[in-house]
Amino acid sequence: MRGTSRRVAVSVAVVLVCLSAVGPALGAAVQASGERSSLNGQTAAAQAQPLGFQSAVDPDVVELRAAVREDGTAAWTVDFRVRLDDDNATAAFESVQADVEANETAFTEQFATGMERTVASAENRTGREMALENVTVDASKERLPQEYGVLTYRFTWTNFAATDGDRLRVGDSLSGFFLDSESSLVLAWPAGYERQSASPEPDESGDSSVTWHGQASFGPDEPRVVAVSGGGGPSAALIAGIAVFVLAAAAAGWLYRSRDEGGDGATEDGADTADAAATAGGAAGATAADADVDGEPDAGGADGPPEELLSNEERVIRLLESNGGRIKQQQIAGEFDWTDAKTSQVVGNLRDDDAVETFRIGRENVVALPEESDL
């Protein structure tokens, strides 16, 4: 078998080809190829790739994620995952890790060379001034529960998306993009924005992202996502506070009128009114106390401490318990509005403490309490 180090290097090249496919000539060539073809062991994309590799071996999993900021700049993460299913593959990936630690610049410069051409092509096509910045690389291992070697590139792409008032228009930098069968593309938008449209229809949708899985060849006006700012309307906590104030004021006015009509001696009706006001105020206060800072009902109460007093790990455990002991990792990110990186870190901490177990169903990572795991 070919070494993992060669697989990773060629995987990088293939993804750069996919990104470069947004250029008209190469994009047309990739789309015309249709199904993946081979010539002397090379894919059609690899034959056209700019980095000069002489053979192509696809990675097991590639995820490309662009997290777009309000100004249109995107923080990109590209993960290349290779299964470490035998001693040779493991030793080869550990060699890659050592190479990254010894000479990170060799990896980042090679990746940046291909990406800079892609960014320049998108700049010419969209008319927006763009730049590639802050390219980094990291090599690590993950167990999901299958062990993978993961080579991760991160970089910033300025003006990746177009801004239009309160709208973000994402995707014109990737027109004609191509995904092979092992790859996924994730486009995410900032908190406070809502998706207005997405084309083509994504394979997965979250509160702040959409995902397409390969094999897929996007059209000349795809992919496209329009996200609109939510406008920052009043939160549920603020509405609850106003309701408490209005209810308390009404109760106090009612009590005052009752006492005024009954004179100095408190009547039975007056006492009943006071009791009603106290009850109303108590109920309103309880309603306000049950709203957390995010405007959501407090998950604490009789079952435990309030949500805001829990650690991130404790919040995940509580979410698992309320969902039958098992949940998709992507749902955890959506529930708490966390990035994928933060979610992976929290889940990893729990896994290290044997508090949860993780496994994979299809393309989904699943997190489970030990007693709920099928492992």
| Pairwise CA distance, residues 189 & 68, whole Å | 5
Residues facing 227 on adjacent strands: 168, 195
CA angle 203, 204, 206 (to 5 degrees): 155
Match 């990896």 to its residue by tokens. Answer: 107
Residue 76: which region, alpha, beta or left (left: phi > 0; alpha: psi -120 to 50)?
beta
What pTM was estimated for this model as a whole? 0.54
Query: Minimum mean pLDDT among 13-27, 37-51, 291-305: which range?
Result: 37-51
CA angle 116, 45, 363 (to 5 degrees): 90
Inform me whether the pLDDT recorded for 293 exceeds 70: no
* Cα 315 from chain centre: 18
Q: What is the pLDDT of residue 60?
A: 83
The average pLDDT across 29-34 equals 32
| Pairwise CA distance, residues 201 & 184, whole Å | 14
Of the two residues 289 and 153, the one the predictor is more confident about is: 153
Burial of 298 (0-12, 13-18, 19+ CB in 10 A): middle
Q: Which two tokens stand for residue 336?
A: 């708490």
Q: What is the pLDDT of residue 266?
A: 43
In the sheet that holds 357-361, the strands lie side by side as 326-328, 364-368, 357-361
Q: What is the pLDDT of residue 339?
A: 87
Residue pLDDT, tens place only, 150-206? 889 999 999 999 998 899 999 999 998 889 888 999 999 999 999 999 999 999 998
Q: What percent of the chain has pLDDT over 90?
A: 30
Q: What is the pLDDT of residue 78?
A: 92
| Pairwise CA distance, residues 62 & 80, whole Å | 5
Of the two residues 157 and 269, the one the predictor is more confident about is: 157
Inform me whether the pLDDT recorded for 13 exceeds 80: no
CA angle 155, 336, 356 (to 5 degrees): 95
- For the chain, the average pLDDT equals 73
Q: What is the pLDDT of residue 288?
A: 43
Query: Minimum mean pLDDT among 19-23, 195-199, 327-331, 354-358: which range?
Result: 19-23
Q: What is the pLDDT of residue 372?
A: 62
Residue pLDDT, tens place only, 240-253? 556 666 666 666 66
